[in-house]
């Protein structure tokens, strides 16, 4: 057999009854495909169970040796490449891939817009976590499409790969910072999730929502980043807006999307932010904060959205203005109707008041004074 296609290749294959497809198979489905192919070729693996173990690996090695082919060793993470390559080499083995692609089509039909993305999924990722991530993506896209003048267009979605691993080590790629969830691979939109990381599936006792809902909020948060990236406002190497604005907007939209589906109550989300932000993030002025500022950023974005003449659409305007080449200050002024410096002054007054009496701070937050 020719050397198997390298990881990350398009993996296109024209199959009888199925158009050329780059739909990525779920790991278990890919494993079942290659197991079925090896059984049909006369190299039995036993039960087709989607678990690539010693018997499947031995059968694959025997298949290669008998055909005089040079092969990489079959592993759970190589199952899809094997399945596709065997379908190319032998027409009798092609129906197994056709069936797998058709089953993948049926699976994806449940996820709406999330089905348009390409997925690179490590074999150790549980099906339940794949479902969680695809559901979170679908919820985020639906919220943006309904409330912010459109989400990420389908033709763009089809060119974006979502990477899902279960290493526990976070994103180890250049610029990934070992993050449990990230949005970009340098300039490219490429959401990443490590479902075995200690920061994934957090204990949400006392927050008022489930662990699953919390993880879906994380997915929607990263989706908000790539949506702003699509507008031209951010990437892994381009971040002209202050960190509190980027992270606050993503947290805000992440919770909004979950509130829309009913998975997280909006009042509970705001209360959670009001409880957490004063403990650390509000200890310094907003203009000087240099740590992850999602909580205080959420509160700032919430204030801006409520009082901006553009309302929720101000977040789209902000991204579009930056995408047109406007400075952060100019984009902020157009989006929210006041100067960034003026907002910092008003937020500072509220911050100091909040630190004195955080319990009632939200009810004492005044209306923003906008530019005349």
Q: What is the pTM of this model?
A: 0.88
- C-alpha–C-alpha distance, residues 5 and 243, integer Å: 40
Residue 95, CB half-sphere, CA atoms under 13 Å: how many? 4
Q: Is the pLDDT of residue 20 over 70?
A: no
Q: Is the pLDDT of residue 6 over 80?
A: no
Q: Which residues of 16-54 are buried (b: 16+ CB within 10 A; e: fewer)?
A: eebeebebbbbbbbbbbbbbbbbbebebebeebebebee
The H or E element containing residue 92 is none
For residue 3, name the pLDDT band (cuts at 50, 70, 90): very low
CATH 1.10.390.10 location in the chain: 117-364
Q: Is the pLDDT of residue 50 over 80?
A: yes
Nearest to 165 by CA among 211, 122, 229: 122
Q: Could you confirm whether domain 117-364 is CATH 3.40.50.620?
A: no
Average pLDDT over residues 114-126: 93
Query: In this predicted structure, which of 72-81, 157-166, 169-178, 321-330 has the lowest mean pLDDT?
Result: 72-81
With residues binned 3-state (H G I as helix, E B as strand, rest as coil), the percentages for the chain, rounded to 5, are 55, 10, 35
Nearest to 224 by CA among 309, 290, 319, 310: 319
- The SS3 call for residue 123 is coil
Q: 60 with 75: CB under 8 angstroms?
A: no
Per residue in 140-190, pLDDT tens? 999 999 999 999 999 999 999 999 999 999 999 999 999 999 999 999 999
Quote the pLDDT of residue 318.
98
Per residue in 254-288, pLDDT tens? 999 999 999 999 999 999 999 999 999 999 999 99
For residue 312, name the pLDDT band (cuts at 50, 70, 90): very high
Where is pLDDT greater, at 304 or 360? 304
Q: At how many degrees (to 10) do helices 314-323 and 211-231 cross? A: 40
Quote the pLDDT of residue 69.
73
Quote the pLDDT of residue 17.
37
- C-alpha–C-alpha distance, residues 261 and 23, integer Å: 27
Quote the pLDDT of residue 19.
39
């Amino acid at each position: 057999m020719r050397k198997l296609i390298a990881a990350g290749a398009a993996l296109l294959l024209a199959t009888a009854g199925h158009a050329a497809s780059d739909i990525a198979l779920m790991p278990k489905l890919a494993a079942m495909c290659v197991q079925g192919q090896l059984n049909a070729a006369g190299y039995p693996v036993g039960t087709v169970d989607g678990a690539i173990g010693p018997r499947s690996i031995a059968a694959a090695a025997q298949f290669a040796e008998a055909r005089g082919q040079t092969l990489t060793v079959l592993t759970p993470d190589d199952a899809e490449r094997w399945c596709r390559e065997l379908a190319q080499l032998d027409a009798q083995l092609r129906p197994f891939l056709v069936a797998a692609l058709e089953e993948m089509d049926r699976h994806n039909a449940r996820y709406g817009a999330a089905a348009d993305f390409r997925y690179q999924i490590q074999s150790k990722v549980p099906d339940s976590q794949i479902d969680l991530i695809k559901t979170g993506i679908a919820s985020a896209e639906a919220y943006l499409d309904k409330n912010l003048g459109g989400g990420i267009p389908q033709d763009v979605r089809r060119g974006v790969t979502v990477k899902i691993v279960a290493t526990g080590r976070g994103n180890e790629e250049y610029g990934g910072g070992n993050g449990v969830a990230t949005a970009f691979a340098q300039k490219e939109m490429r959401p990443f999730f490590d479902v075995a990381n200690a920061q994934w599936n957090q204990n949400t006792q006392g927050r008022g929502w489930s662990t699953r809902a919390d993880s879906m909020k994380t997915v929607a948060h990263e989706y908000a980043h790539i949506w702003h990236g699509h507008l031209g406002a951010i990437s892994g190497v381009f971040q002209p807006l202050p960190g509190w604005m980027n992270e606050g907007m993503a947290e805000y939209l992440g919770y909004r999307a979950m509130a829309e589906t009913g998975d997280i109550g909006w009042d509970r989300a705001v209360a959670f932010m009001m409880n957490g932000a004063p403990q650390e993030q509000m200890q310094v002025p907003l203009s000087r904060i240099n740590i992850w500022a999602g909580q205080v950023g959420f509160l700032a974005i919430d204030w801006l959205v409520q009082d901006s003449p553009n309302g929720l659409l101000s977040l789209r305007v902000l991204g579009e203005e930056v995408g047109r080449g406007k400075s952060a200050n100019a984009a902020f002024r157009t989006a929210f109707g006041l100067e960034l410096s003026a907002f910092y002054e008003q937020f500072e007054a509220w911050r100091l008041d909040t630190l004195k009496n955080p319990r009632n701070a939200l009810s004492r937050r005044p209306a923003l004074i906008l530019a005349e």
